[in-house]
Amino acid sequence: MERLTSPPRLMIVSDLDHTMVDHHDPENLSLLRFNSLWEHAYRHDSLLVFSTGRSPTLYKELRKEKPLLTPDITIMSVGTEITYGNSMVPDHGWVETLNNKWDLGIVKEEASKFSELKLQAETEQRPHKVSFYVDKSKAQEVTKELSQRFLKRGLDVKIIYSGGMDLDILPQGAGKGQALAYLLKKLKTEGKLPVNTLACGDSGNDAELFSIPDVYGVMVSNAQEELLKWHAENAKDNPKVIHAKERCAGGIIQAIGHFKLGPNLSPRDVSDFLECKVENVNPGHEVVKFFLFYERWRRGEVENSEAYTASLKASSHPGGVFVHPSGTEKSLRDTIDELRKYHGDKQGKKFRVWTDQVLATDTTPGTWIVKLDKWEQDGEERRGCTTTVKFTAKEGEGLVWEHVQQTWSEESNVKNDSSWII
Ligand code: GLC
Ligand code: MG
């Protein structure tokens, strides 16, 4: 958050499973559309917050399976764990507030008396979250009885039913909504209260997000019955909350447009990049678009035309250098020439490219440094490179690529130099 010197323009607080991530779309298209929109138009002045029911363990697993961006803030275990930045620094202050009228031992003891409750995996049992599976038909009754028992034992807990199967027991002060309220308060004291906040969700544990004042909300089209029911009973007349027509991340993009929170056209929805050349004054945009072009080129989704390579060459410096992750130095223009022979080589294959944490800084007048992570999913293999691009801006000529340097990302599961082009 330190990188922001003024209040963020937009803060998106999104659930992951069935909201940001569509588990029914093996191509991850809506997620990839959201990713390019975020990196293109929001990353530099906005905040991305993931708020998931998953524990840190399962959250990290999901990151390996799906092309998720790196959020600025991660809220896990149904609002009981808040962490900041890439290295996920925990918010100890938040944890302290959760101990009020909470006793893990008593919660487990009382819950174990219910045969209808089946304990979830060990990884999902957290210091301030105890989780079970329970049949839909039993959920209401069990919740009611559990609450009474906890009350008798002097505890103040919150029981949340999600996804028509999960039952979470948390301290009363916890939950996704309370965690968001805490975060907003914290940002406000730092003078960084977001101009707009958009909460996105699909299931029971997201309901609280939609009752935080001054927050826009979107329930994605595929929202669960329990969330729609909650909405009908509690927030039907709130114009700040919509039920989107589109699934998952598509619904988030739809809400950005609906509430007029900023640009809502993903670069992935633009078919011809050469056409939008004139607006190209932002080096971050240039990079997002280049790697999108690169994906389409290799998938054979753009025409194998000289015009493209000629335009790329024209915007790269004649003496420009590319340092490949292997350490080999090449000329930038030769790299573009080499690209020619790869047109369509990934046609019909599982091949996707996305950029993450695209941030541009203008070091000296007329010079820009763009840092980003470039990821490539190639079949079952995923590789990523920390990428630095140096641009020079010349009056009337737009941006010129001067230097590109890549090194393998720590999280890359393979660091195989061969067949990595750029
Ligand atoms: C995630 C968690 C699970 C929790 C559910 C609903 O799936 O892994 O423990 O019950 O979210 O909050
Ligand atoms: Mg969900």
Report the nearest-CA residue for atom 12 of ligand 1. 53
CB 409 within 8 A of CB 396: no
Tokens found for residue 267: 């670069």
* Ligand 1 within 6 A of CB of 77: no
Query: To test ligand 1's pocket by mutation, which of 19, 63, 119, 166 has the most ligand atoms within 8 angstroms of CB?
Result: 166
* Ligand 1 within 6 A of CB of 168: yes
* Ligand 1 within 6 A of CB of 53: yes
Read off the DSSP letter of residue 77.
Answer: T
DSSP letters of 236-252? TT-TTEEE-SS-HHHHH
pLDDT score of 278: 44
Angle of CA points 310, 316, 319, to nearest 5°: 120
Say how many C-beta atoms besides its own lie within 10 A of residue 377's C-beta.
Answer: 19
Q: How far apart are CA 110 and CA 415, in angstroms?
A: 49
* Ligand 1 within 6 A of CB of 124: yes
Ligand 1 atom nearest to CA at 129: 9
Q: How far apart are CA 170 and CA 80, in angstroms?
A: 8
Q: How far apart are CA 20 and CA 13, in angstroms?
A: 10
Query: To test ligand 1's pocket by mutation, which of 21, 58, 131 has the most ligand atoms within 8 angstroms of CB?
Result: 131
Query: To test ligand 1's pocket by mutation, which of 133, 168, 209 has the most ligand atoms within 8 angstroms of CB?
Result: 168
Say how many C-beta atoms besides its own lie within 10 A of residue 365's C-beta.
Answer: 6
Pick the closest to residue 46 from 71, 67, 64 (CA basis): 71
CB 260 within 8 A of CB 239: no
DSSP letters of 83-108? EETTTTEE-HHHHHHTTTT--HHHHH
pLDDT score of 281: 66
Taking the CA of 205 as reference, the closest ligand is 1
Say how many C-beta atoms besides its own lie within 10 A of residue 371's C-beta.
Answer: 15
pLDDT score of 412: 82
Q: How far is the CA of 350 from the centre of ligand 2 (A)?
A: 25
pTM of the model as a whole: 0.96
Q: What is the CA radius of gyration of the chain?
A: 24
* Ligand 1 within 6 A of CB of 175: no
Residue 70 CA: distances (Å) to CA of 53, 105, 211: 17, 35, 26
* Ligand 1 within 6 A of CB of 54: yes
* Ligand 1 within 6 A of CB of 162: yes
pLDDT along the chain (422 residues), means of 10: 89 98 97 97 97 98 97 98 97 94 96 97 98 96 96 96 96 98 97 98 98 97 97 96 98 98 96 59 90 97 92 93 97 95 97 97 91 96 96 84 96 84 96
Angle of CA points 102, 107, 109, to nearest 5°: 145
* Ligand 1 within 6 A of CB of 51: no
Q: For the chain, first and last CA: distance in Å?
A: 30
Ligand 1 atom nearest to CA at 124: 9
Q: How far apart are CA 243 and CA 63, in angstroms?
A: 27
DSSP letters of 310-358? HHHHHTEEEEEEEE-TTS-EEEHHHHHHHHGGGTTTTTTS-EEEEEEEE
Q: Residue 277: how many CA atoms within 13 Å on its side-chain side?
A: 13
Report the nearest-CA residue for atom 9 of ligand 1. 124
Say how many C-beta atoms besides its own lie within 10 A of residue 355's C-beta.
Answer: 26
Taking the CA of 62 as reference, the closest ligand is 1
The 10 Å CB-count burial string (b at 16+, else e) for 230-252 is bbeeeeeeeeebbbbebbbbbbb
Taking the CA of 121 as reference, the closest ligand is 1
* Ligand 1 within 6 A of CB of 120: yes
